[in-house]
Structure 1
Amino acid sequence: MTKEEFLRQFHHARTVWQEQDYPLRVKGRPAAVLIPLIDYGDSLSVLLTERAHHLKHHPGQISFPGGGVESQDAGVIDAALREAEEEVGLPGDHATIVGSLPDYRTISGYTITPVVAFIKPGFTVVRDPNEVESVFEVPLKHVLDRKNHLIHHTHRNNQTFPIYFIPWQDRMIWGATAAIIRNLSHHIHP
């Protein structure tokens, strides 16, 4: 999938199916993640991180660069770009914002806004070892293909919730990251 093919599918007027998120009783803490699509001209890949193993919450989990919106952030886009620079050294001038996906609420009490951006290749990854164990890329075509998605259902408070999994080589993308990828997939492949 090229940048032009992605844009044709991403910017449209149709209603898009959204995966079920966690129904928070109160407004969640605002957070933002960057969906960094590395543009190689003839293909796109998505940059993902493996969270540091010593972290208290979600150690070793695969995620997008991102985190809570802070008071100094002008908004969710600013927060997503700031977090990407802090976590993986992504310079803001390498990112071209495409848009965002609808918010996704998590069981941990966050309301995440996924921000989609094209990234110029060639920047030097500088990971923050306090937050990031490793950084890697996956072909966008692979993660958007719902044939590669696995779904497990869990039960909480007499309700059933799906948990999504996307295997890639020796890694497993799951939880909110996989659900956000599925929402992007519904946008691109209705």
Structure 2
Amino acid sequence: MRKSLIGLIAATAVALVGCVTINVYFPEAAAQKAADQFIGNVLDESGVGKPSPAKDAPASPVPGKQPSASLLDLVIPAAQAAEAPDIQVRTPETDAIRARMKARFGGQLKALFDSGAVGFTADGLVAVRDAGALPLDQRSQADGLVKQENNDRDALYRAIAVANGHPEWEPQIRKTFAEGWVQRAPSGWYYRDASGAWKRK
């Protein structure tokens, strides 16, 4: 009898711990908004231009009312979801990264995207797509520029996750930003999808 009671208490404790972890979830909508603001700031202020808003952006059916509940809302009560943190992207480190990215896009990186030599990847980075689109003497410079950009991107996603107290969110933040870069990219720029295939926007 005593062993079964101890077993029941242990099972209940494990179940309660499992329930607590459900309350800390990745705030996807807040992350998308933060990523869009960051990316828009980098691209727009570096002179890349303002692409049209995403066609697939969810709209509220009635002004002042929220869209219908998602599956996540059914799993997590609304009161607990309302306490979920927003994604913070403003720290001294991320501000410095943003400034470097703006400078690169305002300089040579935009030209590399325009020529089709480089494109966005599915993991939120930049990759050389067609080195042949560049003169031979500019290829090593382009490689260096892509490396600098990717170092900053890796640092950015990590810094945002850490600043929000959830280093484990880094892959989700990276994915959200990867989608955002493609959505905000001007027509004609290239991106690589999850299968590894290059596509032109």
The TM-score normalised by the length of structure 2 is 0.23
Return the structure number with greater helix share: 2
The TM-score normalised by the length of structure 1 is 0.24
Return the structure number with greater strand share: 1
